[in-house]
Amino acid sequence: MIKLISEVEAEEKAAKKEELESRVLMQSKTFPLPVYQTAVYPRLYQDEKWFRFFRSRFINNILSLFTREKIINSFIEDIYPQTKVLQMGITFGDEIKDIADQIGYKGRFDVIDVNNAQISFAQEHLGDGYPQVKFYHYNAEEKLPEKYDTIICFMLLHELPIVSKMKVVNNALNSLKEGGKVIFVDYGRPNMLHPLAYVVRMFNRLKQPFAEKLWDREIASFAERDLDYNWQKTKFLGGMYQRVIVTKKSKDQMVY
């Protein structure tokens, strides 16, 4: 029994040491705003009035045809309390609070974004009541210095050119701990007879030129080794939105 207790204490010390060391590794860095963001969204992510407008749950529910909260609720239970979680990109809305509540104070929630203005707006909006949440100026295309239990890519891919999509998807997959998962939430291809398909296509071509690639290709197709992972896709609102949960296969399931 004494030996068993000592082993448990040793494991706890090792876990605490790993956590302390990992908190030092993730640091904000200096990244220029990507060309695609300044060219396609020159004011949207720089002006606080737009952030305040779009962060409203009411506005987000209307714009998503009351689908956004349904999507968030569909994956929130896949995030375990007291774990280490990363979100790639700051989006409009309150999903950061929802995720932070699920993780709890004893967990860790890192949020990265390449836009310093978005980070400032989000920090002010979140307030001081969530010590488990840390914001970092970091480009999701760059290799991450840490590994996570869960990585969330929420409404980010549709804004990225195809090369950037590939970098972000592979970066997320390569930054998972053993047994971890990546949760992608984004636009998808509406069903053939969807009444809004034509309207959405025209809007995308005018305002979101990189979104249509998510109609033409599965998210798995952006991964270098997609066969090493299980891809579980769920459609919402007739396919207009998709949630893809990715887990790594065991070694005996992998294709070499």
Q: What is the pLDDT of residues 192-234, one digit of tens each?
A: 899 999 999 999 999 999 999 999 999 999 999 999 999 999 9
pLDDT of residue 239 exceeding 90, the answer is: yes
Whether the model clears a pTM of 0.75, i.e. scores above it, the answer is yes
User: How high is the pLDDT of residue 8?
Assistant: 58
Burial readout 5-30 (b: 16 or more C-beta within 10 A, e: otherwise): eeeeeeeeeeeeeeeeebeeebeeee
Query: Measured between alpha carbons, how far is 37 from 17 in angstroms, rounded to an integer?
Result: 39
User: How high is the pLDDT of residue 12?
Assistant: 63
Query: Measured between alpha carbons, how far is 256 from 235 in angstroms, rounded to an integer?
Result: 30
Domain residue extents for the chain: 29-253
pLDDT of residue 14 exceeding 70, the answer is: no
CATH no. of 29-253: 3.40.50.150
| Tokens coding 25 | 């590794």
Alpha-carbon distances of 32 from 16, 36, 98, 143, rounded to whole Å: 34, 11, 29, 16
